[in-house]
Amino acid sequence: MNVTVQSVGCIWMTKQKTRKCAICKDSFIPLRPLQSTCTLFSCMVEYAEKAAAKSAQRRAKNERVAIAEKRLKLKTRSDYINEAQNAVNAYVRFRDKDMPCISCGNPLSSDGIGGGFDAGHYRSRGSAPHLRFAEDVGNINGQCKRCNRYLGGNYSNYRIGLIERIGIDNVERLEAYNEPRKFTVEELKEITQYYKNKLKELKNAGA
């Protein structure tokens, strides 16, 4: 029986083609199926270390995916609203970075937290939630932090600045628009992605 096994082993070895070591790249004749390195101890150790590192990376990636999926399941509608608002605001801040504050007319600073200035709403998110993402009709514009945060939005001067930009007819139309709107989660996802894409396009256009 032993002779037969040894004979089979010899036949297998004689049929094997040379391979290149995965580490040192030297040619070698494999002694077993799926052998990836030559018989140098340093090559075998390095190969084993790299395989262990790749395995650890796969485990870490799987863990990140699992955590992301878990977080996704726990996300609320409020989370999606915040994500959409952040995407819109980021777009507005980049769009208006070279423009003056809509309310006071002072230059908008690019320094500081949040871009140095805010994406200020003409009709606030609290009083007009249906217009919270409506930058395209003039409801969101670059506004300095002083006007937006410390002067309550500086509404009267915001209106004057907005009239100069989009005209009195459009401002009055914006003021009169009160059709209720409740955004679905899918719509909020679409808004988020839409403004992320718009921001990317705007940045690429200025590159």
| Per-residue pLDDT, 67 | 80
- For 69-89, what is each residue's pLDDT tens digit? 777 777 899 999 999 999 999
The amino acid occupying position 122 is: Y
Helix boundaries (H) for the chain: 2-15, 41-74, 77-95, 145, 155-166, 168-176, 185-206
- For 121-179, what is each residue's pLDDT tens digit? 999 999 999 999 999 999 999 999 999 999 999 999 999 999 999 999 999 999 999 99
CB burial readout 12-32, b (16+ within 10 A) else e: eeeeeeeeebebeeeebebee
- For 18-31, what is each residue's pLDDT tens digit? 899 999 999 998 88
Q: How far is residue 83 CA from its own chain's centroid?
A: 10
Q: What number of other Cβ atoms are within 10 A of residue 201's Cβ?
A: 11
DSSP string, 25-65: --EE--SSTT--S-S-HHHHHHHHHHHHHHHHHHHHHHHHH
Provide the 8-state DSSP code for 123: S
Is residue 151 classed as helix, strand or coil in its secondary structure? coil
Give the span between the Cα atoms of 4 and 101, in whole angstroms: 90
More confident residue, 113 or 83: 83
**CA dihedral angle for residue 107, residue 116, residue 138, residue 178, rounded to 10 degrees:** -140
| Per-residue pLDDT, 1 | 44
Is residue 125 classed as helix, strand or coil in its secondary structure? coil
